[in-house]
Amino acid sequence: MSRALLNQKTSSRRARRRDGRRIGILRAAARIFRDRGFAESGMRDIAEAADLSPANLYHYFSGKDEILYFCQDRSLDLMLNALARSRRGSDGLAGRLRQVLRAHAQAVLDEVEGGAAHLAVDALPDPLRRKIVAKRDRYERGLRRLVIEGGRRGEFVDCDAAVTTRAMLGAINWSATWYRPGGEWSASAVADMIASYLVRGLTAPTDAERIRER
Amino acid sequence: MSRALLNQKTSSRRARRRDGRRIGILRAAARIFRDRGFAESGMRDIAEAADLSPANLYHYFSGKDEILYFCQDRSLDLMLNALARSRRGSDGLAGRLRQVLRAHAQAVLDEVEGGAAHLAVDALPDPLRRKIVAKRDRYERGLRRLVIEGGRRGEFVDCDAAVTTRAMLGAINWSATWYRPGGEWSASAVADMIASYLVRGLTAPTDAERIRER
């Protein structure tokens, strides 16, 4: 094996190890943020929970702002990836929308990116906050386009896409405030239930249902 | 007119005037809470927005905690009243649930009780916070009972009532974070749209829809 290739392998292994370590830290940080709230959590608490010295923690993250940013940025990447996949899909809009909402809920409920960290956008200092808000807006626009497209094709009921999209975002984001890992349902089961419920609300009721609802 | 009756009339007029003044203050406070956040709002700002001297404001409310408590308590009263009315109703569960969700959304979106104030439960000092949380839990239990009852009667799809109820609460509560009065839709139009969407998600899809959704 050439020396260059060997170096490359070593450095990519090192990068993987570093990433793995960062994920471990995020998991510990998410737990602390959830238990104490972001404002009350210190780097010292996070280091302790991640079984690191504070100095070692600073080797991976410059501060808790960077940890929070990393959590939110990862969540949004997962959500935007699901959106990109849904655009390439060929099946009905309901199925595609359900996949996206499930990925979103999963990101919110996940032990690593999820929980309090997902919602604490306002806790970020300004340049980081602006980046997250822009990314979040991109996601919302993409979701709204799916709702509009489903309406155009007659797969979804006629509704205000902006209001309905925000109702969806709310139902999912709010789950960070009540879901606790280790309870009756896994994160993935809850994500499934919420996504199915939210998609059902867009599919047109039959006449019989319309009468029953009066 | 007897002196006693006259006194009673005067004092009830005075109480009405006092209540009217308090509502005016709540409206001003809600605006300030929305613009600056609860933590950043002071009694002096609220007094100025309500066109009162700070001393006069303290005549109506002992502090901003009491204002916040009053906002949340009023919201919850409106929601619990809607729930009580729905229990006396005789029409389908879908219609009754829609009425309750609409009242809830209306309370959240209202200029007086609504907005940031509705969500800032954690900002309350402990004895007040506990009262609000207990009342909120009562509302959630009532809503969950409607979902369970609709499932039992076959009017709603088979679903986990606790998760679905919380998805509803989320969709509605979250609207406080994005709704701004004076925009394209009135609070009551948005409340209607969200309530209808959330109820539709509980009504069973037909076979044709089930196939289309795959």
Cβ distance A95 to B205 less than 8 Å, yes or no, reads: no
The closest alpha carbon to B68, from B18, B17, B14, B29, belongs to B29
Q: In Å, how far is A152's CA from the nearest CA of chain B?
A: 15
Beta bridge partners of residue B156, listed in sequence order: B203
Which residue in the set A92, A157, A206 is minimally distant from B213, CB to CB? Answer: A92
Helix ranges restricted to H, B110-184: 116-119, 126-152, 161-178
Q: In Å, how far is B169's CA from the nearest CA of chain A?
A: 7
Q: pLDDT tens digits for B65-79?
A: 898 888 888 889 999
Q: From A169, which residue of chain B is nearest by alpha-carbon distance?
A: B171
Element of type H or E holding A163? helix A161-178
The closest alpha carbon to B116, from B10, B53, B8, B35, belongs to B35
Give me A72's structure tokens.
């939110």
Its pTM stands at 0.84
- Across chain B, mean pLDDT equals 86
Element of type H or E holding B162? helix B161-178
Q: Mean pLDDT by 10-residue block, N- to C-terminus, for chain A (214 residues)? A: 71 80 85 81 92 93 89 89 90 93 92 63 86 95 96 93 97 90 90 96 64 48
Reply yes or no on whether the pLDDT at B12 is more than 90.
Answer: no
Distance between CA atoms of B79 and A2, rounded to whole angstroms? 72
In angstroms, the first-to-last Cα distance of chain A is: 75
Quickly tell me which residue has 């996601």 as its tokens: A139
Which residue in the set A160, A194, A212 is minimally distant from B163, CB to CB? Answer: A194
Interface of chain B toward chain A, CB-CB under 8 angstroms? 91-92, 94-95, 98, 155, 157, 159-160, 163-164, 166-175, 177-178, 185, 190, 193-194, 197-206, 209, 212-214
Which residue in the set A94, A166, A185 is minimally distant from B175, CB to CB? Answer: A166
Q: In Å, how far is A94's CA from the nearest CA of chain B?
A: 5
pLDDT, residue B169, reads: 96
List of residues 6+ apart from B19 with CB closer than 8 A: none
